């Protein structure tokens, strides 16, 4: 693996965050170690802001929106998704998937403190298994954030599981997109994104100065005839 890079910001104005509880968690974080202890393995700022405003600009207030997330961790990015849904005055919910029971317990505490419990449906299990169940119930998904396992095969499995349920204007976000792998190693999220474009086409935007080890946040959308 290449040396890690960190593009998570500190010392920013906390009132830029859309949720008071998230701002309180961030108040004592001045470096990566402190942030990890307070908010877990989350993308942090400015990534939270990127996702929040993307959703405010993308959510359809005339319909019920289902937002998918894999890799809940401690639920901080989930809070951003749910807050955007609430602030957009949009019907719907966030369905988030986490494998580890300890993370789910911590996430539920954060959801309660953020006053967003009613907007979030957290499910325990392998993301591929839970996604397969979800797409059978919801066939018109317009947003997904895939952030569970970052191994190539796992990213591809998640993406191709939800692909049949995505609307033509759906957007899919991926974290940790920096090419950290050497040629002989698993190519992880970066390799999966390259493969997705070759196999499925679509438009891809990568923002490299977001998040931390591994940095990078990418947005994928089907090619549209505008």
pLDDT tens per residue across span 7-47: 999 999 999 999 999 999 999 999 999 999 999 999 999 99
User: What DSSP element (H or E) covers 113?
Assistant: helix 101-113
Give the pairing of strands 141-146 and 65-70: parallel
As a whole number of angstroms, the distance between CA 221 and CA 31 comes to 33
pLDDT tens per residue across span 154-202: 999 999 999 999 999 999 999 999 988 888 998 999 999 999 999 999 9
Residues 6+ apart with CB under 8 A from 218: 173, 174, 177, 189, 193, 204, 205, 206, 207
| Assigned CATH topology for domain 14-221 | Rossmann fold (3.40.50)
pLDDT value at residue 8: 93
pLDDT tens per residue across span 214-223: 899 999 998 7
């Amino acid at each position: 693996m290449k040396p890690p890079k960190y593009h998570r910001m500190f010392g920013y104005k906390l009132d830029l965050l859309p949720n008071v509880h998230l701002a309180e968690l961030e108040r004592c974080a001045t470096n990566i170690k402190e942030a990890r202890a307070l908010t877990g393995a989350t993308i942090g700022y400015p990534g939270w802001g990127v996702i929040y405003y993307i959703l405010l600009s993308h959510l359809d207030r005339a319909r019920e929106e289902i937002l998918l997330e894999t890799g809940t961790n401690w639920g901080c990015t989930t809070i951003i998704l749910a807050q955007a849904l609430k602030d957009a005055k949009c019907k719907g919910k966030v369905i988030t998937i986490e494998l580890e029971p300890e993370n789910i317990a911590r996430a539920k505490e954060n959801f309660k403190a953020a006053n967003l419990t009613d907007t979030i449906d957290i499910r325990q299990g392998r993301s591929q298994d839970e996604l397969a169940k979800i797409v059978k119930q919801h066939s018109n998904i317009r947003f997904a954030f895939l952030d569970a396992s970052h191994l190539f095969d796992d990213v591809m499995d998640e993406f191709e599981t939800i692909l049949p349920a995505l609307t033509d204007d759906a957007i899919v976000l991926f974290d940790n997109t920096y090419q950290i792998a050497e040629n002989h190693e698993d190519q992880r999220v970066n390799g999966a994104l390259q493969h997705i474009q070759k196999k499925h086409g679509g438009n891809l935007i990568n923002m490299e100065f977001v998040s931390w080890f591994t940095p990078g946040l990418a947005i994928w959308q089907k090619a549209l005839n505008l």
